[in-house]
Amino acid sequence: MGRVVISENVSLDGVVQDPTGEEGFRHGGWFSQFGERDREAWVKVEFDEALRAEAMLLGRRSYEYFAARFRSRTGEWADRLASMPKYIVSSSRVDTDWGNSTVLEGDVVSEVAKLKQELDGEIVVYASRALVHTLMEHDLADELRLIVFPVVLGIGDRLFGETTDKKPVRLLDSGTVGDGLAYLTYGLL
Amino acid sequence: MQVTLDGYIVDATGAADWVDSWADGLELLPQVDTFVLGGGMFPDYERFWAAILDDPDAAAEWLGREPYPRELTYARVAAETPHLVLSTTLRHVTWPTARIVRHVDDLHVVKRQGGNAAYVVGGPGLLHSLVNFGLLDELRLIVHPVAVGAGTPLFGGVAERQAPELLRTEPARAGLVDLTHRR
């Protein structure tokens, strides 16, 4: 049985929009809000997570975004991401040229439920805001890992959607990444 | 301030039933010279804490339980500590140590006086004014392990991007996390 782990970088007010400033959002680029030591620590957390993970689960836009940036990169982290099985939720055509990529074309909820049955270990979700909302709303996510950047934006698309019910979560761990980023992990089920 | 994991201070119905005690915010602070509050929340605030002080039965009914010892402590501290209430419309306050101020500039006085901390109790409008006028030095959040989906977001009215510095992250009881940032 696979476990779906949502792993996200968020601002202190929960915004996930345009972290690198490439999409023209007025407050984009907040991701660079950290020093060199924090960046190294951040890379290590992300790399360790990728090593532990069994597979990646992404929305189409996030897949294309990461594929465009990692495909040509070399190094342990890029190699690991390239070789890891990747599942893409999309109803339209996707260029699956990042290696080991499979498109899930059917109903998201049943496809992800099936994937959880078939796989063992962690299925990590990066970015993919719309997919995250669906996973949360349908209780398909098992764990939430938030790296909280020390920045408040006031506006922007937020990680958490408008859920119909209050959703209690369970604190698993809290700490920091480097000195400047808070790291909070929650169990969802 | 007490906030849900998805960043709300109250849910869509205006309730915050995840909050165990409104006294908890004060416990994060060592020594407080002044309490600062917004006019929107103040009438409920003074009724609530006056009941804790003077009418424990009414307070117990309000809370659905007996007041905690830390709530009695809060009420006593609050009764002895000056309160500044920022409001353009509030005409009258009954809390003995409270005074209405009409403009956020009047709060500069508090900072010039130095001394210990001024505790910003809430609500969101006041917080946004303090952030937007550059008056907030430190932000301590009690993050609750619940996502409520909708409501009043803590940072909804922040006009400009703020880049504070993380000071501490500490787990507290019952799955809460205390997150402290400074300007």
Question: What's the burial of A14, exposed, middle or buried (CB within 10 Å: 0-12/13-18/19+)?
Answer: buried
- Which residues 9-28 of B have a C-beta within 8 angstroms of A? 11
Q: How far apart are CA A143 and CA A171, in angstroms?
A: 10
Beta bridge partners of A20: none
**Which DSSP state fits B105?**
G
Decide if B64 contacts B20 (C-beta within 8 A): no
- Average pLDDT of chain A? 94
Looking at residue A2, its pLDDT comes to: 97
Chain B residue whose CA is closest to A166: B148
Q: Does A80 touch chain B (CB under 8 A)?
A: no
Residue B158 identity: V
Classify the phi-psi angles of B74: left when phi > 0, otherwise alpha if psi is within -120 to 50, otherwise beta.
Answer: alpha
Q: What is the mean pLDDT of residues B48-75?
A: 93
B176, closest residue in chain A (CA to CA) = A171
Average pLDDT, integer, range B94-119: 89
Task: With respect to residue B7, please indicate whether it lies within any of the assigned structural domains.
Answer: yes
CB contact under 8 A, A186 and B5: yes
d(CA B8, CA B10): 6
- What's A72-135 look like in SS3? CCCCHHHHHHHHCCEEEECCCCCCCCCCCEEEECCCHHHHHHHHHHHCCEEEEEECCHHHHHHH
What pLDDT sits at residue B149?
93
Q: CA-to-CA distance for B74 and B125, rounded, in angstroms?
A: 23
Give domain status of residue B159, yes or no: yes
Range of the domain at B89: 2-39+81-182
In a domain, B127, yes or no: yes
Contacts of A184 in chain B (CB under 8 A): 5, 143, 169, 177
Interface test with B, best of A30, A38, A144, A152 (most B CBs within 10 A): A152
In this structure, what CATH number is given to the domain that contains residue B126? 3.40.430.10
Q: Would the CB atoms of B158 and A180 count as touching at under 8 Å?
A: no
Q: Is the pLDDT of residue B31 over 90?
A: no
pLDDT for res A176: 97
In a domain, B150, yes or no: yes
Residues B6-38 as b/e (b if ≥16 CB within 10 A, e otherwise) read bbbbbbeeeebebbebbbbbbebeeebebbbbb
CATH code of the domain in which A106 resides:
3.40.430.10
Tally of domains in chain B: 1
- For the cut 80, the answer to whether the pLDDT of residue A124 exceeds it is yes
In the chain, the amino acid numbered A55 is A
How many structural domains comprise chain A? 1
Cβ-contact A105, A76 below 8 angstroms: no
CA-based nearest residue to B133, from B112, B108, B155: B108
- Assess if residue B96 is contained within a domain: yes
Domain interval for residue A13: 2-187
Beta carbons of B146 and A168 less than 8 Å apart: yes
User: How confident is the model at residue B108, as a pLDDT?
Assistant: 85
Q: What average pLDDT score do residues B51-69 get?
A: 92
pLDDT tens profile A134-157: 999 999 999 999 999 999 999 999
Beta carbons of A30 and A19 less than 8 angstroms apart: yes
The SS3 assignment for B38 reads strand
Assign B26 a pLDDT band (cuts: 50, 70, 90). Answer: confident
Is B71 a domain residue? no
Of A163, A171, A176, the CB nearest to B175: A171
State which amino acid sits at residue A139. D
Asked if B164 is an interface residue toward chain A (Cβ–Cβ < 8 A), one would say yes
Q: Please check the confidence at residue B29 and state whether its pLDDT lies above 80.
A: no
d(CA B138, CA A172): 26
- In this prediction the pTM is 0.94
Is residue B57 domain-resident?
no
The two tokens of residue B44 are 């409920």
CA neighbor of B149 nearest in space, from A159, A119, A76 = A159
Q: Is position B18 within any domain? A: yes
